[in-house]
Structure 1
Amino acid sequence: MSYDIHFLKRDPGQSWDDAMEALEEQANAAETLGRPPNWDGVVSEVRALLGDVSVVEAPPTWEIDHRATAIQVSCYSGEWSISVPFWSDGDAAKKVAAHLRAISEIVQRATGLAPYDPQLESAVTSDEWTADQAAAVFDRVAESFDLRGIVRG
């Protein structure tokens, strides 16, 4: 299980659900694409934010992985996303959530796509989305894992 952020092309007045459906249709019809536009800039900015990251460039998959937090930024056949396992809680989850927002801003600037958080049903870069709200989701999942004896990370 992971906390995911999807990047969507959202037309004025279009609901997030409709934009997600359009993304799924696009993914089903996507062909292998070349290097994502502004890829090097995204890698550079994510590296500046997180520090040591590994980069995988295996078309149609392009990934940036940060081992310490397990945050993964990916572009698969033109579809951008961020994911991170539910390994953290408390202050660590707040820090991860702050990173999710910062990375969302980086990808949004580079692609023009809107970062959508299906867990909170909100745009990540809106005033409605906060790191505390996202961290609360991590905390609830951590509590659920702990109650069931599931080892995290």
Structure 2
Amino acid sequence: LGRLEEKLLSAVGHNEDILSGQDIEFRPSTKVKLIRRHGQRLLFESEDSCYIAHRMANSRLYEGLPEQTFELPIQYVSGFNALSDSYPEWMSLSEMPEEMNAVEVQALCHLLYHHGLLMVQQLPDRIKRKVKRSKHE
């Protein structure tokens, strides 16, 4: 995976303006994957409390910045594990674990995306074709 692809398909290269209210849309046809296999760790404080620790602010070679953490709601754990297990392959959101509803899947993706851990491929829901009509019709 090249650094350019990492950048272009993540929040870093999306040039997203969080304050504008414009946000990326996660649909069932959207494909996602974690940027790096070992870029993040899921840690449990208790049976019903966990968080993700990551070093995505560091380059692959330089480890100078401290680890960053954020809370992961316990109901998102199965989705995070599915993404980890599918790495390095892309995963369609329609393939997320059945125990997660669509709102939870979208919330998990937004959380991981905004923390710079997720790459996104938006696929068109349907292909539009322009049909040329002949002058003789």
TM-score using structure 1 length? 0.29
Larger Rg: 2
Structure richer in helix, relative to its length: 1
